[in-house]
Structure 1
């Protein structure tokens, strides 16, 4: 069940569509978030006065009259308000996508669980029907042999044959139920294509050969 659920979550088209939409919104949110940030630029400038290299007030050890200026320029982009609006829109849409993903996951989980349970029941039901048919055929054959030996009569043979026919019809119905359940599981788990057996490999239902 868990493997089938994992495959279904990865292969269902609604999940692929919602996941792509979510990735697109994440990119839009990141872009809008960057555009709301202020610009901070750093500048470093230098200059030197003309004339003597030392200040008369600084003595023999005075510094050259060279000036270095460092500055930080803080700017707010003009489109900041528009970017904040886009950011809020993207976040709101992301919340909606997450809710849709959660709802879709719950729905797929329920579909796969129901289909898987139905398939298991149908498989067990067919096993019982097959056993019933094999037993009915065995009893009908034994009754015919008893008639040949003179130990039975036509009425008993007829009743055994009718029971065999009922068992054959029952087995066919059980086989149809299994195939219907198999189709439901393939619809829920789209990774199980028409040629893929997947977890059905060990749950193959075969037609019971008709007696000659």
Structure 2
């Protein structure tokens, strides 16, 4: 039997076969609602037109949409990924904010006494630089004064051309190793790591869903092809039945039975095409253009064959440390330990060392000889808190938080191990099920071909041929389902092991 008989001959066969009146109840049970009121000839044309349209093969995929294209688009343009990248930029900006605590400070002051017993006036500038490795700071300045000052303002006197000052303050105990400024900087820096690992988690999830969406679209296209081939068999057979009925070799009711098969298989094709269109809509959420707008792939871009599942690492448990959610907990633990250092710092007494050098410039001014030459100062400041309730409370809270985070890490690690082991089992069993489904499909197709030959030779009946053909189509659909389950299982395992290369998250 030819695979594709001429369309005009087939159309004439269908029109003549379906022009025969059907019982009213049977006609209404088989025909679509939109053609129930049409005359017999119009009904035949509508059925033939819909069936032929549904049976048309998919356009040749001249430029198949590859998985690599979809993964590249979702990697750079998915809104979830862009949102996570925005959070990374926000965390980096917070680092800059924390670094602002170490900015160089400039200060200028001018004091005058327009009225009163003293007529002193003073102007000065200061530059202070906080120390990044100590709780103190370094400073330098220049002062110039004129007139007289009260005794409590004797330090305001300078030489004729002013006074140059340089000094520093060192923390010897409290704030020596850590203080609020360095703590905030460390937390802000680790927040960048948190945001970046969160971005990676989002990207892995997006890529895994993109793989599932693309494969779902490809599988839907393959499924539509299976049911179109099944429909085409019924359409091709209708012409032969018409000729045999005319020659008296077959009963006329056979045409009606085959028309029923055409309608039933046409329904399967429409449902498959609907699923294909829905899968294309789902894929458009990941396949985006350069502006981030969803693109709807057409059926002409369907690949001609099923894709291969992603490769699986030989030792999946060894990839445990690649999990970004585990890294997130590790960063939280590091942050808690940094806070623990800050809390312990609060128990230390404050002991600060100050060193300062003043160089008076020029001859003595109003203040006299004491304000000439070079002057140096050294000083120690000690401060001991007698009660530490605030520090003890914070320390206890931080220790409790640290213990809780460590237990959370243990739980997450156990869950990840169980997840990876479960997905490994699912991937292995999916391969076995796919092998069984392929064997079932091959045997079902062989049975359908053999039954068609027997029917052509008169050794079988039409009902059994239809049963064999539809069983073969069901076996093909189950094989596609098994292939999809294997693909998804491999993609889920790649996501669980954070295989960024397999998920298209690397440049290579």
TM-score (norm 2): 0.30
Does 2:235 correspond to 1:137? yes
- In the TM superposition, residue 189 of structure 1 has moved relative to its aligned partner by 3.6
CA 201–85 in structure 1, closer or farther in 2 if over 3 Å, else same: farther
Give a deviation string over 1:87-144, Cα, whole Å, max 9, x none.
Answer: 1231232232122112111211210111111111111111111121122111113212
- In the TM superposition, residue 33 of structure 1 has moved relative to its aligned partner by 3.9
Aligned to 2:94, which of 12, 25, 28?
A: 28
The gaps in structure 2 that reach 5 residues or longer are 1-66, 103-130, 141-165, 171-177, 304-508
- Structure with greater helix share of residues: 1
The list of structure 1 runs, each at least 4 consecutive aligned residues, that deviate by more than 4 angstroms after superposition, is 38-42, 72-76, 190-194, 197-201
How far apart, in 2, do the equivalents of 1:176 and 1:149 lie? 40
How far apart, in 2, do the equivalents of 1:41 and 1:201 lie? 72
Check the 8 A contact 2:283/2:296 in 1, yes or no.
no
- In the TM superposition, residue 200 of structure 1 has moved relative to its aligned partner by 5.6
Does 2:80 correspond to 1:14? yes
2:7 alignment partner in structure 1? none
1:37 alignment partner in structure 2? 132
Does 2:214 correspond to 1:116? yes
How far apart, in 2, do the equivalents of 1:114 and 1:186 lie? 12
Give a deviation string over 1:37-73, Cα, whole Å, max 9, x none.
Answer: 377799xxxxxxxxxxxxxxxxxxxxxxxxxxxxx97
The gaps in structure 1 that reach 5 residues or longer are 43-71, 205-212
How far apart, in 2, do the equivalents of 1:145 and 1:193 lie? 54
How far apart, in 2, do the equivalents of 1:168 and 1:105 lie? 41
Q: What number of residue pairs does the alignment pair up?
A: 174
How far apart, in 2, do the equivalents of 1:26 and 1:193 lie? 28
What secondary structure does 1:172 align onto? helix
How far apart, in 2, do the equivalents of 1:119 and 1:107 lie? 18
- In the TM superposition, residue 197 of structure 1 has moved relative to its aligned partner by 4.3
What secondary structure does 2:248 align onto? coil
Check the 8 A contact 1:123/1:178 in 2, yes or no.
yes
Higher RCO (Cα < 8 Å, 6 or more apart): 1
2:301 alignment partner in structure 1? 202
How far apart, in 1, do the equivalents of 2:93 and 2:196 lie? 15
- In the TM superposition, residue 7 of structure 1 has moved relative to its aligned partner by 0.8
TM-score (norm 1): 0.67
RMSD in angstroms over aligned alpha carbons? Answer: 3.3
